[in-house]
Structure formats: structure tokens, C-alpha cells
């Protein structure tokens, strides 16, 4: 998640930035499993929804003004019928970015941001440019707003197409209600739940029998004999439910693997004809929930086939030797990971949960472990899908090279 709240009228009690992931973050501890209750999650997410008091405003942006205070974005205010300014609203980073692209254009937003930082005159010119651009906004825009704890004003977290065009509300609470009402989903054990101002992610075990291996009172394996280490290190099929409330994502079902011992997830990338996800855009009429639920059964069948295949691929990777894991990572990751992400992956090799012995599985473990440290769920998912592509590529090379990945192959 990449939402941070830009706060109006800062004071000692009001932080300048509020992390969106703080709304809800529930999960597991390494080496254990206690399924989260979907019914309780429904109540919790309903409470978050109620506390945020979401209100959608569908009005032309030209009926309001934008202003700065002390060089910082202060907010946006609509005018009332008498021409007076209403209570200013501030923004999340996502909401501000969407409005800026609409009013100023992609290049214009960056130019104005630089302009306001030059001087007091630059700040005034930036404000003039903003409001000049707003004058041309005569079509309705949909502002999705919430009221964050401790604030006396509302926060704009999205600026979308309004007037009944394009975007239709499917809030997080709607998604969890659909899952709870669905016979295909209601009995799937929930691994973790993350909810922020931008998006929601739920992860679930695709096979309830995988949860039955753990004592529900302690969360530990009920038969921790010689298979203890293997049970915790070998992944199991996983389903991921995603939703974006601010126009940043559709409602989606994707799949991959989950490992109890390290909490790592790996998402199927879609390569090799194995499918990657089902997506339902936030468009449609009042029957959209019924149409979405009608596709659940097929989506789960696809998920079980593809995720089980990814588990078998991972098992095969534990037997593939890698001559130089760091060199292989450098050679394969340059187009998919940033330099900082690559360094975090290399640091992750030191973790006790990473497969030892210079194996292809070692690289996969390190990538998916480093992915957990991404605060943005979109970036985390990108790293996890890269891990699956890397897994497929490594297995293909190993099949041609007697089960090994040598430096020439990596390069």
C-alpha cells in the first residue's frame, strides 16, 4: 500500500502521515497456524467501515478551490450555494495524485509540485495554476472521502470519474459479505488479513485439510515428529482475495503458495498457460455481486489446479543446485526488482527459514521473504509473482543442465 495521509492544520497530536496498513493487519506467527475467523473479520471490517464514515461526493471539481498553507498542501474546499467555502478536505497521497492528474495532467502535477517548493511566490503561482485548472472541470467527479480518527475534517482518498460513469462501489465490506455468503469460500481457513485506505488483501488456504494438521488451541503441528521441519518448510496451496476501494484495483482472486515456517507467499505469475487470476472490475449494476459470485466455483477450480502445480514446482526446486545464488539473482532480477529490493533479497539469504545449500529454492525463499517487507501490497505482489517466474525459468534451465544452474546459464 502506498497511501499516506497529508494532514491539514498539523499539531503535535496529529501525525503528518498515517500508514494505511494500520487499519487492519492480522496474521500468523512463524511455524504455527491459527485460522482467522471469516465471521469475526466481517465484523472487524464492518467496524472499520463504520468508523471511517465513508461518504462519496459526486460534483464537478470546478465548484471548489485548492490551497496551500506554509508551502504544504492544505486541502480542497467546495463552495456552498451562497459562494462560501465549506470545511476544507485533505488528501491521501493516492487521492491527491488522482486529482492532480485529472486537473493538471501527469507532467503538470510534477511541475506544480516543484514550483510550490521554490519560494513564496512559487507557492502562490502553484495555487493559481491549480485553481485555473479546476475552472475547466465542469463534469462531475466522484470524490471518495472518509473521516479518520481524531480529525474534524474529511479526507479525500480517491478522485474518480463521476456522474454514474465507470466506477461502481464494491467496498471491502461488500467483498467479505460475498465470501461469507458463498459456500465455496466460507469454510476456507483464513491465513491473514490486511486492510488499508487504498486496498484490502485476504489470504486463505485452498485445502482445509492443510489447517487440520495444526492444533487449534496452540497453533502448532499436532504430530511434530520427523515430518515437523518438512511440514513447515514445504508450501501449501493458497488463495488471495484482493480489492481496491479507490479505483486502484479491481476485485480479484489469485493464487499461489504459502509456507508456514516463514509466512512466505508466492503468487502464480500466469506464465506457461497456468492462469494467474480472476478479476471483476468495479462496474455494473445492482446485480454485480450475484454475477461475481456466479464465477466463484470456476475460479476456485482454476486456483486449486494452478496452486498445486506451483507447490510441485517448488518441491522440484529444492533438488536444483545453483553455483552462485547472488550472481544468478543479479542476472535474472535486473528487469523486475529495484536495486534496493535485490539487496534486501540478498540479506534475506541469512534467515534461518531459507533453504540451505545453494539451491534454486534458496533464491525463491529469499525473494518471497524480502517481499514481506514491502509495505505496499502491490509491490509485494509483484515480487511474489517474480519469484514464480524465476522458479519456472530455473527449472527449465536445470532440465537442460543435469539439474544444475551454472553461471553461464544465469548470465
Averaged over 250-275, what is the pLDDT? 83
Dig out the grid coordinates for 230 from the structure.
518438512
Cα atoms found within 13 Å of the Cα of residue 73, Cβ hemisphere only = 26
What count of other Cβ atoms lies within 10 Å of the Cβ of residue 184?
14
Most confident of 98-107, 290-299, 393-402: 393-402
Confidence of residue 9 (pLDDT cuts 50, 70, 90): very low
Distance CA 257, CA 204 (A): 10
pLDDT at 223: 77
Q: Are 320 and 342 in contact (CB under 8 A)?
A: no
Distance CA 266, CA 239 (A): 10
Give the three-class secondary structure for 40: helix
Interval 200-242: pLDDT, tens: 999 999 999 999 989 999 999 887 665 445 678 889 999 999 9
Q: Which position has the higher pLDDT, 21 or 355?
A: 355
Closest C-alpha to 52, from 285, 192, 245, 249 = 245
Dig out the grid coordinates for 341 from the structure.
529490493
Does the structure show a pLDDT above 80 at 285? no
Dig out the grid coordinates for 92 from the structure.
491521501
Dig out the grid coordinates for 74 from the structure.
492544505
Burial code (b: 16+ CB inside 10 Å, e: under 16) for 347-361 equals ebbeeebbbeebbbb
Give residues with Cβ within 8 angstroms of 21, minimum separation 6.
1, 194, 196, 375
Burial code (b: 16+ CB inside 10 Å, e: under 16) for 123-156 equals beebbebbeebbeebeebbbbbbbbbeebebbbb
Locate the domains of the chain by residue range. Answer: 35-49+169-405, 55-161
Distance CA 287, CA 269 (A): 31
Distance CA 72, CA 116 (A): 8
pLDDT at 21: 46
pLDDT at 1: 40
**Max Cα distance, the chain (Å):** 79
pLDDT at 381: 94
Q: Which of 59-63, 330-334, 340-344 has the lowest mean pLDDT?
A: 330-334
pLDDT at 408: 54
DSSP state, 195? E
Beta-ladder partners of 237:
257
Helix axes 106-116, 93-104, angle to 10 degrees: 110
Long-range CB contacts (within 8 A, 24+) of 81-84: none
Q: Are 268 and 310 in contact (CB under 8 A)?
A: yes
Pairing of strands 199-205, 236-244: antiparallel
Q: Which position has the higher pLDDT, 68 or 79?
A: 79
Averaged over 96-115, what is the pLDDT? 86
Pairing of strands 90-92, 5-6: antiparallel
Which residue carries 552462485 as its cell? 324
Does the structure show a pLDDT above 50 at 411? no
Q: Which of 102-111, 213-222, 227-236, 388-397 has the lowest mean pLDDT?
A: 227-236
pLDDT at 160: 87
Q: Are 253 and 278 in contact (CB under 8 A)?
A: yes
- pTM of this structure: 0.86
Q: In whole numbers, what is the pLDDT of the chain averaged over residues?
A: 85
Separation in Å, CA 237 to CA 28, 232, 233, 300, 308: 16, 13, 13, 11, 6
Distance CA 248, CA 279 (A): 13
Amino acid at each position: 500500500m502506498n497511501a499516506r495521509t497529508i494532514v491539514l492544520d498539523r499539531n503535535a497530536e496529529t501525525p503528518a502521515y498515517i500508514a494505511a496498513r494500520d487499519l487492519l493487519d492480522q496474521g500468523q506467527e512463524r511455524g504455527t497456524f491459527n485460522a482467522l475467523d471469516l465471521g469475526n473479520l466481517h465484523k472487524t471490517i464492518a467496524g472499520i467501515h463504520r468508523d471511517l464514515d465513508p461518504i462519496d461526493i459526486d460534483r464537478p471539481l470546478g465548484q471548489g478551490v485548492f490551497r496551500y498553507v506554509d508551502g504544504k498542501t492544505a486541502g480542497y474546499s467546495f463552495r456552498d450555494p451562497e459562494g462560501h467555502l465549506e470545511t476544507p478536505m485533505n488528501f491521501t497521497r493516492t487521492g491527491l495524485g488522482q486529482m492532480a492528474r485529472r486537473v493538471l495532467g501527469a507532467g503538470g502535477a510534477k511541475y506544480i509540485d516543484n514550483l510550490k517548493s521554490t519560494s513564496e511566490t512559487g507557492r502562490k503561482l502553484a495555487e493559481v495554476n491549480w485553481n485555473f485548472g479546476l475552472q475547466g472541470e465542469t463534469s462531475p467527479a466522484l470524490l471518495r472521502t472518509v473521516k479518520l480518527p481524531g480529525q474534524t475534517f474529511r479526507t479525500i482518498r480517491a478522485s474518480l470519474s463521476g456522474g454514474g460513469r465507470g466506477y461502481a462501489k464494491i467496498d471491502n465490506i461488500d467483498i467479505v459479505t460475498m465470501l461469507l455468503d458463498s459456500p465455496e469460500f466460507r469454510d476456507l481457513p483464513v491465513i491473514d488479513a490486511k486492510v488499508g485506505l487504498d486496498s484490502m488483501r485476504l489470504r486463505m488456504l485452498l485445502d482445509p485439510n492443510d489447517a487440520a494438521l495444526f492444533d487449534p488451541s496452540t497453533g502448532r503441528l499436532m504430530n511434530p515428529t520427523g515430518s515437523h521441519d518438512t511440514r513447515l518448510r514445504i508450501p501449501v496451496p493458497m488463495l488471495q482475495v484482493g480489492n481496491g476501494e479507490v479505483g486502484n484495483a479491481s476485485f480479484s482472486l489469485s493464487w499461489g503458495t504459502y509456507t508456514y515456517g516463514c509466512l512466505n507467499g508466492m503468487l502464480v505469475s500466469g506464465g506457461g498457460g497456468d492462469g494467474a487470476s480472476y478479476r471483476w472490475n468495479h462496474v455494473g449494476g445492482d446485480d454485480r455481486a450475484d454475477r461475481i459470485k456466479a464465477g466463484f466455483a470456476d475460479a476456485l477450480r482454476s486456483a486449486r489446479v494452478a496452486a498445486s502445480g506451483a507447490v510441485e514446482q517448488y518441491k522440484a526446486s529444492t533438488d536444483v543446485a545453483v553455483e552462485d545464488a547472488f550472481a544468478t539473482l543479479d542476472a535474472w532480477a535486473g528487469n523486475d526488482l529495484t536495486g534496493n529490493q535485490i539487496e534486501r533479497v540478498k540479506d534475506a539469504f541469512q534467515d534461518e527459514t531459507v533453504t540451505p545449500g545453494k539451491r534454486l529454492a534458496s533464491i525463491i525463499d529469499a525473494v518471497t521473504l524480502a517481499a514481506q517487507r514491502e509495505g505496499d501490497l502491490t509491490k509485494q505482489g509483484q515480487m511474489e509473482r517474480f519469484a514464480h517466474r524465476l522458479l519456472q525459468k530455473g527449472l527449465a534451465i536445470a532440465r537442460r543442465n543435469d539439474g544444475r544452474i551454472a553461471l553461464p546459464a544465469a548470465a
